[in-house]
Structure 1
Amino acid sequence: TQFEFDPKLREKLSYEKEGLESKLLTIVYGVDMVNSHAVLMCVCFQIWTDELFDLATNILSRNSSRIRHLYKAYTKLKLHGNSDGRIPMKHIKTEDLTWEVFLKFLDNLCIRPELQSIFEEWYFGARRKPFISLDQFLEFLNDKQRDSRLNEVLYPPLKRDQVRQVMEKFESNLSQLERDQLSLQGFSRFLNSEENNSLPLENLDLFDDMTHPLAHYFINSSHNTYLTVGQLTGASSVEMYRQVLLTGCRCIELDCWKGKPPDEEPYITHGFTMTTEIPFKEVIEAIAETAFKASPYPLILSFENHVDSPKQQAKMAEYCRTIFGDALLIDPLDKYPLEQNIPLPSPQELMGKILIKNKKKPHLEKTTVRRKDPVLTQPSPSRGGEGESEEEEDNEPLPEGKKAASEEGTALNEVSATEEMSNLVNYVQPVKFKGFDNALSKWRRRHYEMSSFVETKAIEILKTFPFEYNKKQMSRIYPKGTRVDSSNYMPQLFWNIGCQMVALNFQTLDLPMQLNMGVFEYNGHSGYLLKPEIMTRGDKQFDPFTEEIVDGIVANTIISGQFLTDKKVGIYVEVDLFGLPQDTKRRCKTKTSNGNSMDPVWEDERFVFYKVILPSLASLRISAFEENGRFIGHRILPVSSLKRGYRYINLRTEFNQPLLVASLLVYTEAKDYVPNQHMGKFAKLISLLRKTTYVPSLSLEELKQNKNLTKLRKKQIKDFNELQKKNQKKVNAKSFIWM
């Protein structure tokens, strides 16, 4: 908006005294963070800002059921009436298009044979009926929709009275309801409802314990946050900081450079490139505005400091102090002094605080020298000073033309900090990486020290990465400098080894960024995800390349799609598993539908991921494409939270925004993994269990009408007598031996 670039206007509006939010309301909208638009309005009340923001970021609304998405489409249709109060399509009167009429219209528009097939599976007996009984619906919910691995004491199966309440909510035919019957329409509405969401709603809220040390969390992190396109050309934007923070990101990057006369104001840009410059002060103000709007948990500012002017570094420190105010954490907490073997504070204890990651001033260094990026080798341990710099000295700087093209980017020319900036650094102190032995040695063990690694160097030491390091200290991974198109690496690779800050280019909505946004959507959109217990406990050892820790099997059946696109094209669906390297096959793909994009059916397309080693670290991506490969929508789901049964998956855009009505009906099943060598014994056990006589659930009326009841009863009595005789023989044999 205009005031971002006009200092005089900003001053007249008393920006620093009262804040623009008390005078103006800016609504930003768009398909992603870069291609956004703003509407500026004068308002009288702060409540407008708060309420509109809450509406736009409501977690339950973003994860609502399919029926809620259909209702949004219905509401949008009703609100688009003309001046005569009619809907443009054939001039339907708005009052005639009720919600019930709209649902009936959809039922007639999309003939759903797959729903009929699912419904018919639960008819008792061979005779087809247009309903299922209460007991049949009870069996469906407990057998198909409930996770069989759940503890029945803590998570008991549903009872008849509970199922009756569900039927009352979705069955509109009162005569059938009086007979404890559920119609196909009622069954369909249940599958569409909030009661049948694909994920537990509690996982959308804050469900992780936030009292662990910072190093025990994955932290949503951004690289070169200010850029809107590539790394070499294009605009830098203050607005990107706002938009990235509003996604829940908790670690953002500021590349700071020395300002030119006469103002000598430090600025932010990508050095040695043709990207534009933005004032450092405006960035700090934007961060102050939005730092804790999406998440109350600590925000880390990762400074790449190229300001070789003590005066301007002092100015940067002053801006941080005055603009952030009490939110800036300057002194360490009393409970967590900067001493050996003292763990980092927790996100809970650092709520509402901003942490600065910037090089500390070496105690013995009096002049500013140029530094080099960490060399990721493992030299012999050396004690080193407490104020040790993250980079080594470089007496032979690279030519300017090669600086931005190196793998490390401009980080290799970072300068030392002055005392003013150094005093702002506490729990996130970057140091030169001298090997894991050095970091974990008894005489060091400074949990507040951390190191950054370019992706290529991090891959080189991937298999030697001890988890003990990331259990106590933090590490940051960033893209190599040769990714000039701002593409991203797959973050899963580094989450698997416990790296906390896996920084990505947020302006590029490629698959890695989509995965990042999907994963960090959970735990209340806080930007912090607690690592699996095996990756944080000191008494646990974990190898990400192991095959030994196997938790389960995930099976998905892609049944059908609904309103995927308005084009008459074939559609196919892909299912990807992102997890540990030794998990089973990574990608499955359905056949392409025959030109049907409104309600395609892939009823027999079943995909099984036979081995998911650590489900709490794995994600499932379900995505739909047109036959030419054009992306339609997708959804990222945490494997550990997948609910069993028939569920609708509402699809999202590349920016993780909900599509209005596009969805997929899938059947998901999760089981305990049984190795091949034990399958014989397992099958034998199952066979023995199946020999037990099966007694279906029947109402009293059905029992009276069932001709096979007498035969079934006789068989049960016969089975019981045989078991009794066998048991008596065993008792007699034992008595004979004793005598």
Structure 2
Amino acid sequence: MSKRRLSSPRLFSVKSNDSNSIDDVEFSPLKNKDAHVKIPSIFFEDGMSLLKVSSKSKKRIYFHIDPQTWMFIWNVANKSINPSILPVLNIQKLFTTTTIASKKLQKFTIDDVKKVLYQQEARHFRDELNISQEFENQWITISYFNATKKKMKTLHLIADTEVDAKRFFSTINNLKKLRAQLSDKFYIDLDNMDEEQKELVMMNSTSSPSKPQKEYLSFDDIVKYIARLNINISRNHLRTIFDSLDFKTVVNDVRVINFEEFKEFIALLKRRDDIDHIWDQICGASGASKEMDFRSFKKFISKVQGENFDDETNDKLFYKFCNDTNQWTTESLNQFLLSKYSKPIIEGSHDDDYYNQPLNEYYISSSHNTYLTGRQVADDSSSEGYVKTLQKGCRCVEIDIWDGDNMVTDVEPVVCHGRSFTTSISLRNVLTTIKRYAFVASSFPLILSLEINCSPEAQLQTRNLLLEILGELLVIQPLKGVALLPSPNDLKFKIILKIKKTTPHHLVLTETGSLTSSTASTSFSEDNGSTTSSTSNLSSGKKRKKKQVIDDLSDLAVYVQGQKFRNFSLPESKTFNHCFSLSEKTIDLMLKDETKQKSVDKHNRKFFMRVYPSSMRLRSSNFIPISYWTHGVQMAATNWQTYDLGQQINEALFDGKDKVGYFLKPKDFRKPLVKHTMRNILHLEEKRIKFNITIISAHQLPKPKNKDTVGINPFVKLDVIGARDIHYDNGSAVNQTSIVAENGFNPTWNESFSGTMVANQLLFLKLSLRTMVSKDNDLLLGVFVCRLENLKGGYRYLPLNDALGEELIYSSLLVHIAYDKA
């Protein structure tokens, strides 16, 4: 492979061993010489040789980094590789066939990279792919957005040596940190540059480090400079700013600017008219005062922001952001609004009694088909699904258990979406991953919803794996022997199982492979409460639509025992620990019938119900969970791999205080029913709410991932979900703001949505930042969804997620929020 060298960006200092070749590229932000990233020369010459591992193949690739664009590029080796000549650490043992030749280049940018896992952090992936632990120190996994396939992908790599692995991880991780720093500090501080740094800015963008500096910059030079900074702003807008300068120099009939004029250009680009406007609102319409004293600051915090900080906190915050004269400026205000002290979502902890109610009195953050990475028909299964949901605080995950391939007694069960083209993963690896991540985000109980589709032999293996791997974390006996549901506080750091009870008999697997019913032991479940013997004999070899679950396994579910729904009057619907699992199609039919709807509402005050998406949702889309929360359903299980409106609302409900996956149902859904009051308390109390939401500005918006667009033409769309009635004021924006043409860097609106609406506690707001790409077509840039009562008032920067639910860490939406009960 021929060597190639890529030019380095002049935004940074570039160091090399001699003037004729670049051995390593070293990035140093002009603001801070000490913060730098060194890119080993191998990444922009031959490329680092790595082994790419997937469930289907193992291939030798070469990984490159373009230091000018921060583009990552990799391609499969052009020649087939003989496993015997692979280098150190016995890496040839990983090959079963030679590498397939390919010249196709795969590319993604630094902004596409969402996560980089290294060594032990990526153990669940290595285990899932059955790679020996001896390669753990050489393992790197990159999660990134694949623009071609328009989905998140993972790249699993094994370096030839531990040293190479460390170089690879450090380079990419440090580039991500530098990208974040540059975004946070707006890339460059021109006022504190020394002569050497000044030269770097004034160099031609494609010149070598040894080329003499340019005395002037043309407009084209500036456009290249802005593009390198990944600022999404149109050429026309840049031209407007450029032309507003007082030009004094023309070279070869081209107007140019010197370094001092370039500083003026950057100042105009960075100017925050929106913050100046907020300052005027706070300090007076005249804006005469450009400083805020401590007294004015306290008034702003309490009256405008609605915060109730104590005197000590106010004191610390004021002096943390004040200037040298102990006053606040517009920059102080902006830095405070951007800080962790001004987050838009209400935080803190609930009182001690909040988590002391029985489990059935809570909404529980729940996942459906947790193991899937995409569609339920033909996408992959991965333990990463459990990692992501548990890290976000999910408290009920699903495990579909099937017989392993070519099932024999020594082959363990697998997890997959049965009777489809999805891949499978080892149940052992899934349970190991769950154990590792179960309580990283929440200490409250985790529910494993097991869907048993395997043979009796595999069910016994499942039981043994649960006990072996989860051990003392499992609750398999009632606390204190009492037949009552415990509280979340009672079950901290514990795992409970939801397993379906399919037979009224106590089934035992015999040595011959048949199922025999015997005297049932005493249980809290009335389905298993018979003490009479039976002699029925069921062959395990018969084909059945649904596998029967042996009691050795189902008896582990002491607090959430699945029961097939028949009706609400039978004995099984009265056992304290039963749970009915209904598809959305089934419960939707029930809710259309007034009598059945009342039965659902009554049942869910005391007992568990889980609702899951219809099997007709082939693309793993989601229902709107509010439809079932308003009828007391505790576990509205959504497809977390699909970040549509249903999933956005599901996450938003639990994104308030504590963020632990348990949300106490409103009192109206927990009150004991009395016949003469039943009709009046079936529905949540509604209130009339006045609201005023001002969309001020947005910042550093990304280009759409799935569309090549010349410029960004953003607007903001408001959706209110859960309101029964909404009326906008005269003069209010309705549904969406106006469009700002060709500005994805700092578009400003200052437009308000105001009016009144009638709603209950389950009211959600969705603000979508979109861009017009044609007259009749727009694309999503970012979205923010929250429950209204979780949202703080005042001026707030709202974080944005992309279409896949990943946070856009460089982008934000500045708003002013005001609402109250009318």
TM, length-normalised to structure 2: 0.61
Name the SS of the counterpart of 2:552 in structure 1.
helix
Deviation at 1:461, TM superposition (A): 2.1
**Counterpart for residue 720 of structure 1:** none
**Counterpart for residue 449 of structure 1:** 578
Equivalent AA in structure 1 for residue 578 of structure 2: E
- Kindly tell me: are residues 547 and 292 of structure 1, through their superposed partners in 2, closer, same or farther at Cα, counting changes over 3 Å? closer
Equivalent AA in structure 2 for residue 520 of structure 1: F
Structure with more of its chain in strand, by fraction:
2
Greater relative contact order (Cα 8 A, min sep 6): structure 1 or 2? 1
- Kindly tell me: are residues 520 and 123 of structure 1, through their superposed partners in 2, closer, same or farther at Cα, counting changes over 3 Å? closer
- Kindly tell me: are residues 127 and 386 of structure 1, through their superposed partners in 2, closer, same or farther at Cα, counting changes over 3 Å? closer
The equivalences for 1:100-115 within 5 A come to 108-115=268-275
In the alignment, is the contact (CA less than 8 A) between 1:358 and 1:429 conserved in 2? yes
* Distance (whole Å) between structure 2 residues aligned to residue 647 and residue 243 of structure 1: 27
Query: Does 2:650 match 1:503?
Result: no
Deviation at 1:605, TM superposition (A): 2.8
In the alignment, is the contact (CA less than 8 A) between 1:553 and 1:612 conserved in 2? no
* Distance (whole Å) between structure 2 residues aligned to residue 103 and residue 501 of structure 1: 57
Deviation at 1:358, TM superposition (A): 1.5
- Kindly tell me: are residues 487 and 208 of structure 1, through their superposed partners in 2, closer, same or farther at Cα, counting changes over 3 Å? farther
In the alignment, is the contact (CA less than 8 A) between 1:255 and 1:269 conserved in 2? yes
The equivalences for 1:411-450 within 5 A come to 413-438=545-570, 445-450=574-579
Deviation at 1:667, TM superposition (A): 1.0
Structure 1: runs of 5 or more not aligned: 57-67, 94-100, 148-154, 369-382, 389-399, 401-411, 674-739
* Distance (whole Å) between structure 1 residues aligned to residue 297 and residue 473 of structure 2: 54
Deviation at 1:136, TM superposition (A): 4.8
- Kindly tell me: are residues 139 and 28 of structure 1, through their superposed partners in 2, closer, same or farther at Cα, counting changes over 3 Å? same
The equivalences for 1:311-350 within 5 A come to 311-334=457-480, 337=482, 339=483, 342=484, 344-350=485-491
In the alignment, is the contact (CA less than 8 A) between 2:801 and 2:808 conserved in 1? yes
Deviation at 1:173, TM superposition (A): 5.0
The equivalences for 1:186-585 within 5 A come to 186-202=332-348, 209-259=354-404, 260-262=406-408, 263-307=410-454, 309-334=455-480, 337=482, 339=483, 342=484, 344-360=485-501, 362-364=503-505, 385-386=527-528, 413-438=545-570, 445-462=574-591, 463-464=597-598, 466-538=600-672, 549-550=686-687, 552-565=689-702, 568-579=711-722, 581=724
The equivalences for 1:622-661 within 5 A come to 622-628=767-773, 629-661=778-810
**Counterpart for residue 146 of structure 1:** 306
The equivalences for 1:154-193 within 5 A come to 155=308, 166-174=317-325, 177=326, 182-193=328-339
Q: 280, 289, 304: which one pairs with 1:120?
A: 280
**Counterpart for residue 816 of structure 2:** 667
Structure with more of its chain in helix, by fraction:
1
Deviation at 1:197, TM superposition (A): 2.7
Name the SS of the counterpart of 1:664 in structure 2.
strand
In the alignment, is the contact (CA less than 8 A) between 2:508 and 2:552 conserved in 1? no
Mean alpha-carbon deviation: is it higher for 241-250 or for 19-28? 19-28
**Counterpart for residue 612 of structure 1:** 759
Deviation at 1:192, TM superposition (A): 3.2
In the alignment, is the contact (CA less than 8 A) between 2:54 and 2:156 conserved in 1? no
Deviation at 1:277, TM superposition (A): 3.0
- Kindly tell me: are residues 485 and 124 of structure 1, through their superposed partners in 2, closer, same or farther at Cα, counting changes over 3 Å? closer
Deviation at 1:453, TM superposition (A): 0.7
**Counterpart for residue 185 of structure 2:** 74
**Counterpart for residue 376 of structure 1:** none
In the alignment, is the contact (CA less than 8 A) between 2:724 and 2:757 conserved in 1? no
- Kindly tell me: are residues 587 and 613 of structure 1, through their superposed partners in 2, closer, same or farther at Cα, counting changes over 3 Å? farther
* Distance (whole Å) between structure 2 residues aligned to residue 184 and residue 429 of structure 1: 59
* Distance (whole Å) between structure 2 residues aligned to residue 468 and residue 141 of structure 1: 45
The share of aligned pairs that are identical, in percent, is 27
* Distance (whole Å) between structure 2 residues aligned to residue 558 and residue 133 of structure 1: 27
* Distance (whole Å) between structure 2 residues aligned to residue 361 and residue 293 of structure 1: 34
Deviation at 1:326, TM superposition (A): 1.3
Deviation at 1:487, TM superposition (A): 1.4
* Distance (whole Å) between structure 2 residues aligned to residue 14 and residue 226 of structure 1: 15
In the alignment, is the contact (CA less than 8 A) between 1:619 and 1:638 conserved in 2? yes
Deviation at 1:109, TM superposition (A): 2.1
Deviation at 1:639, TM superposition (A): 1.4
Equivalent AA in structure 2 for residue 538 of structure 1: P
Name the SS of the counterpart of 2:490 in structure 1.
coil
* Distance (whole Å) between structure 1 residues aligned to residue 266 and residue 574 of structure 2: 63
* Distance (whole Å) between structure 2 residues aligned to residue 247 and residue 351 of structure 1: 17
Name the SS of the counterpart of 1:222 in structure 2.
coil
- Kindly tell me: are residues 642 and 507 of structure 1, through their superposed partners in 2, closer, same or farther at Cα, counting changes over 3 Å? closer
Equivalent AA in structure 1 for residue 466 of structure 2: C
In the alignment, is the contact (CA less than 8 A) between 2:740 and 2:748 conserved in 1? yes
In the alignment, is the contact (CA less than 8 A) between 1:122 and 1:132 conserved in 2? no
* Distance (whole Å) between structure 1 residues aligned to residue 202 and residue 507 of structure 2: 80
* Distance (whole Å) between structure 2 residues aligned to residue 87 and residue 25 of structure 1: 40
- Kindly tell me: are residues 191 and 421 of structure 1, through their superposed partners in 2, closer, same or farther at Cα, counting changes over 3 Å? closer
* Distance (whole Å) between structure 2 residues aligned to residue 236 and residue 490 of structure 1: 24
In the alignment, is the contact (CA less than 8 A) between 1:24 and 1:42 conserved in 2? no
Name the SS of the counterpart of 1:221 in structure 2.
coil
Structure 2: runs of 5 or more not aligned: 1-51, 58-92, 95-122, 146-150, 210-259, 510-524, 531-542, 592-596, 704-709
- RMSD of aligned Cα (Å): 4.6
* Distance (whole Å) between structure 1 residues aligned to residue 340 and residue 458 of structure 2: 55
* Distance (whole Å) between structure 2 residues aligned to residue 637 and residue 317 of structure 1: 40
In the alignment, is the contact (CA less than 8 A) between 2:713 and 2:741 conserved in 1? yes
Deviation at 1:366, TM superposition (A): 5.3
**Counterpart for residue 517 of structure 2:** none
Deviation at 1:531, TM superposition (A): 2.3
* Distance (whole Å) between structure 2 residues aligned to residue 565 and residue 86 of structure 1: 29
* Distance (whole Å) between structure 1 residues aligned to residue 765 and residue 384 of structure 2: 32
> What are the Cα deviations for residues 279-316 of structure 1, in whole angstroms up to 9, with x where unaligned?
33333333333333333322222222122x32222122
**Counterpart for residue 59 of structure 1:** none
Name the SS of the counterpart of 1:619 in structure 2.
strand
* Distance (whole Å) between structure 2 residues aligned to residue 21 and residue 523 of structure 1: 43
Name the SS of the counterpart of 2:611 in structure 1.
strand
Deviation at 1:186, TM superposition (A): 3.4
Name the SS of the counterpart of 1:627 in structure 2.
strand
Deviation at 1:666, TM superposition (A): 0.8
* Distance (whole Å) between structure 2 residues aligned to residue 4 and residue 274 of structure 1: 14
In the alignment, is the contact (CA less than 8 A) between 1:468 and 1:538 conserved in 2? no
In the alignment, is the contact (CA less than 8 A) between 1:545 and 1:582 conserved in 2? no
Query: Does 2:739 match 1:598?
Result: no
Equivalent AA in structure 2 for residue 421 of structure 1: L
- Kindly tell me: are residues 252 and 129 of structure 1, through their superposed partners in 2, closer, same or farther at Cα, counting changes over 3 Å? closer
* Distance (whole Å) between structure 2 residues aligned to residue 580 and residue 544 of structure 1: 19
* Distance (whole Å) between structure 1 residues aligned to residue 555 and residue 684 of structure 2: 46
* Distance (whole Å) between structure 1 residues aligned to residue 263 and residue 371 of structure 2: 46
